[in-house]
Amino acid sequence: MSAPPSPSTSNFIRSIIDADLAAGKFSARRWAGRPGVAPEHRGGNADPARIRTRFPPEPNGYLHVGHAKSICLNFGLARDYGGHCHMRFDDTNPVKEEQEYVDSILEAVRWLGFDWVHGAEENLYFASDYFDWLYRFAEHLVEAGHAYVDSQDADAIRAGRGTLTERGRESPFRDRPPSESLALLREMREGKHAEGSHVLRARIDMASPNINMRDPVLYRIRFAEHHRTGERWCIYPMYDYAHPLSDALENITHSICTLEFEDHRPLYDWLLERVAEGGFFDRPLPQQIEFARLNMTYTITSKRRLQELVQMGLVDGWDDPRMTTIVGLRRRGYSPEAIRLFCDRIGVSKADSWIDMGVLEQALRDDLEDKAPRASAVLDPLKLILTNWPQERTEECSAPVHPQRPDLGKRSLPFGRELWIERDDFAEAPPKGFFRLFPGNMVRLRYGHVIRCTGCEKDAQGQVTAVLAEVMPDSRSGTPGADAYKVKGNIHWVSVSQALQAEVRLYDRLFREPMPDAGGRDCKLALNPASRRVVRAQLEPGLADAQPEQRFQFERHGYFVADRHDSKPGAPVFNRAVSLKDSWGTNRKSA
């Protein structure tokens, strides 16, 4: 059994689970080994899962960072409480769903470090596998007088639903005898009626202050091919109908969803009660619990809006490293650990709030700080010529792979007469407080020698083409005389003759405003024009061996990853995941 949750990660959902377990609420539950109705579960063993949660995406797009919060929550609770979390595709809407999305969602959940296989039990489910049961429950509801076939058209149904201030109006078909509704429902299923000609509605309360309870539609006719059931069905259940019943079939104990479903909970409970009365479910029934969705600044957390960015070509696909999709974050260089750390830090609450993107970025820095090997990379190369160093002489300078982790060993940096340095590490006329290279000044070449700048070379336009300097005697790092030199600047470099030239993509936030789609505004207007800059960089030669998805700290620059798609053996392409410091100055939780 897993360790109990630590108090630091406790939240209101854990309190509910703690109380349920303390009261032995689930102790008599049985489990058929697969989803099913009460008679099947009764024939099974005691449920091996102390609780059951589920992650239920609709396979209509790629998952984003908001889904990561839900994944970490649902799978994390199951892990911490000795439970099982089911991976369930909510694929009851035939027109928007595709296998491509199913595959990518499974891969994303696994990549985040979670799993739906528990011993011999593989808890991977599709709501579409429940269509027979869902239909059976619908007939029960009709027979029991809890549902009816409404033959009004969509406009009339919408008009009859009323408003927040005005009660709804009963449909003229509301008191249709159950036998007539049942016959119609069967004809609907057999394809005898056109789309929109009839719907199945629950018979609840048209005067309810909660509009969700005003005889909601349960089934509609759609002559559409479904990605799993093909053309077997031409009536499809609504989300609000399919969801609670799928939860009950799967023995879910805690059905965790986002706050916008709070008003749907009475319907969730009503449906479970009515179907349980038909003998299909035993108690305790699943409990819906709502939590605040993740809203994050400088991004959008809506599959539909993300899809627009892809379709309009504003980004290079779902896995563009600027996208906060899980595939995008992965390609950007995020580790699963960083995303889980982020989800732990933001916690779970009942109140909507905004999390600054800086919190996500900081989680990545905090995860990689201790893990990422260091490397030298010159992103804006300028040649440095060491005029007193013999042309043919090269030396190997030794640098730690990680300054705090001697266990990771050393790396070797070839040093010679010509080196690449960053263009902005040299200033012909230094501004006040500039400690790096300018004529007459001394700096240390990190892990190498101390040098004194003697001047520079320029082209006809006055652009600096090379910096000239002399190596100071006995100044090599790690040798006895090295400390005799007192210098304020310490710059990185790579050898011109042995550098690895590589494409490096400098990514930044996709939007330049914290709330790009606030108030329904078109988020495309808030795009950051500088969100992607590509440079030819000069890198230390050892980086030629970087494996796709291997992450590094490029010293003084930030964390970078070898792109998982475009890197070739011996020729990696790097993406900047995050800079070393938060240049947006917004690393805080905003209200």
Element (H, E) at 287: strand 287-291
3-state DSSP percent of the chain in helix, strand and coil, to 5: 30, 25, 45
Total residues in contact with ligand ATP, by rule CB under 6 A: 14
Give least dist CB 239 to Mg ion, A.
8
Q: Is residue 294 part of the contact set for ligand ATP (CB under 6 A)? A: yes
Write the interaction track for Mg ion spanning residues 7-46; mark x where CB under 5 A is met and - where it is not: ----------------------------------------
414 binds, among Mg ion, ligand ATP, none (CB under 5 to 8 A by kind): none
Q: Is residue 51 part of the contact set for ligand ATP (CB under 6 A)? A: no
Give least dist CB 60 to ligand ATP, A.
7
Closest to Mg ion by CB, 58 or 121: 58
Closest to ligand ATP by CB, 305 or 446: 305
Residues 297, 530, 101, 138, CA torsion sign: positive
325 binds, among ligand ATP, Mg ion, none (CB under 5 to 8 A by kind): none
Total residues in contact with Mg ion, by rule CB under 5 A: 1
Q: Is residue 58 part of the contact set for Mg ion (CB under 5 A)? A: yes
Q: Is residue 57 part of the contact set for ligand ATP (CB under 6 A)? A: yes
213 binds, among Mg ion, ligand ATP, none (CB under 5 to 8 A by kind): none
Q: Is residue 69 part of the contact set for ligand ATP (CB under 6 A)? A: yes
Cα dihedral 578, 580, 583, 589, rounded to 10, equals: 80
- Burial status of residue 423 (CB atoms within 10 A of its CB: 0-12, 13-18, 19 or more): middle
d(CA 457, CA 466): 5
By the 8 A CB rule, do 228 and 257 touch? no
d(CA 489, CA 425): 9
- Interface residue with ligand ATP, options 67, 332, 411, 436 (CB under 6 A): 67
Among the residue ranges 51-59, 194-202, 473-481, 512-520, the one whose residues contact ligand ATP (CB under 6 A): 51-59
Q: What is each CA distance from 178 to 139, 149, 171, 200, 535, in whole angstroms?
A: 9, 9, 15, 12, 71
d(CA 358, CA 111): 23
- Interface residue with ligand ATP, options 56, 76, 94, 328 (CB under 6 A): 56
Lookup: tokens for 456: 């520079």
122 is catalytic: no
Q: Is residue 76 part of the contact set for ligand ATP (CB under 6 A)? A: no
Q: Is residue 302 part of the contact set for ligand ATP (CB under 6 A)? A: yes
- Interface residue with ligand ATP, options 37, 202, 238, 257 (CB under 6 A): 257
d(CA 444, CA 526): 42
Q: Is residue 303 part of the contact set for ligand ATP (CB under 6 A)? A: yes
Q: Is residue 70 part of the contact set for ligand ATP (CB under 6 A)? A: yes
Give least dist CB 350 to ligand ATP, A.
13
Q: Is residue 293 part of the contact set for ligand ATP (CB under 6 A)? A: yes
The helix/strand/coil state of 94 is: coil
Would you put residue 219 in left (φ > 0), alpha (ψ -120 to 50) or beta?
Answer: beta
The helix/strand/coil state of 88 is: strand
The helix/strand/coil state of 391 is: coil
Give least dist CB 114 to ligand ATP, A.
13
Among the residue ranges 36-44, 67-75, 240-248, 490-498, the one whose residues contact ligand ATP (CB under 6 A): 67-75
Backbone angles phi, psi at 277, to 5 degrees: -60, -25
Give least dist CB 300 to Mg ion, A.
15
Q: Which of 201, 203, 303, 505 is catalytic?
A: 303
| Of 333, 317, 385, residue with least CA distance to 552 | 333
69 binds, among Mg ion, ligand ATP, none (CB under 5 to 8 A by kind): ligand ATP
| Of 375, 401, 404, 378, residue with least CA distance to 562 | 375
Q: What is each CA distance from 454 to 14, 129, 427, 459, 471, in whole angstroms?
A: 66, 76, 12, 17, 11
58 is catalytic: yes
Q: Which of 189, 220, 293, 305 is catalytic?
A: 293
Q: Is residue 307 part of the contact set for ligand ATP (CB under 6 A)? A: no
Measure CA 128 to chain center: 25
- Interface residue with ligand ATP, options 58, 115, 121, 470 (CB under 6 A): 58
444 is catalytic: no
By the 8 A CB rule, do 178 and 142 touch? yes
Sole residue written with tokens 């390609």: 331
Q: Is residue 343 part of the contact set for ligand ATP (CB under 6 A)? A: no
Among the residue ranges 50-58, 141-149, 455-463, 532-540, the one whose residues contact Mg ion (CB under 5 A): 50-58
Q: Which of 58, 107, 143, 337 is catalytic?
A: 58
Q: At what angle do helices 336-346 and 357-369 cross, to 10 degrees?
A: 130
* Residues recognised as catalytic: 58, 293, 303
Contact set with Mg ion (CB under 5 A):
58
Binding stretches for ligand ATP (CB under 6 A): 56-58, 66-67, 69-70, 257-258, 293-294, 301-303
